[in-house]
Amino acid sequence: MKSLEFQRKLRTSVKPVIVDIWAPWCKPCRAMEPTFKQVSEDYKTRVEVLKINADESPEVLKALKVMSIPTVLAFSGDTELVRRTGMQTAQSLQAMFDAAVNREKPAVMPIAMQDRMLRILAAAALLIIGWFANRSIPLMVLGGLVLFTAFYDRCPIVKAIMEKFRSKKSTPNTSNDSPG
């Protein structure tokens, strides 16, 4: 697919568009394929899916500034709503499809499982080091904060705050600031 053809598809689609950039040699792409297929089947009447082979469409990858695959993008018209790189879980894909259907950026995207595990391990290491370093409060607080980053996407308080922040940011100022 050429870049101009891709841009035309985005502009002319009446539905939001999910773009899956993959390659046949990419193991994470192949591993994610069944999950992506299932989620896209659930949304087939509400979203258009474009599968782009990275080897056959380097122009599109360059135009989108895609540096690695798999990359999944959600568009509303020609506006990019969400971009995720790497193998995605069903929950993450559903959040992307929901963002596309709602035509707005999600308040909080789920964290990929490998990122969550890495954060948990880093937090555990900081907490253990803090404990054995004469109960270092700064290290243990840092460990707690890193642990929180592993689960913030599941926190209802964070979701509520982010939704409130997004609604305030998107609401135009209606007050009349002119004198008189």
Cα maximum dimension of the chain:
68
The H or E element that residue 38 is part of is helix 27-42
**Catalytic site residue from 10, 29, 32, 100:** 29
Distance separating alpha carbons of residues 32 and 88, to the nearest angstrom: 7
DSSP state letters, 142-168:
HHHHHHHHHHGGG-HHHHHHHHHHHHH
Selecting among 26, 39, 52, 81, the annotated active-site residue is 26
26 is catalytic: yes
* Amino acid, res. 13: S
155 has catalytic annotation: no
Strand ranges, E, within 31-177: 48-53, 71-76, 79-85
Please check whether residue 86 is in contact with residue 96, taking contact to mean a CB–CB distance below 8 angstroms.
no
Phi, psi of 140 (to 5 degrees): -70, -35
Which residues are catalytic, by number?
26, 29
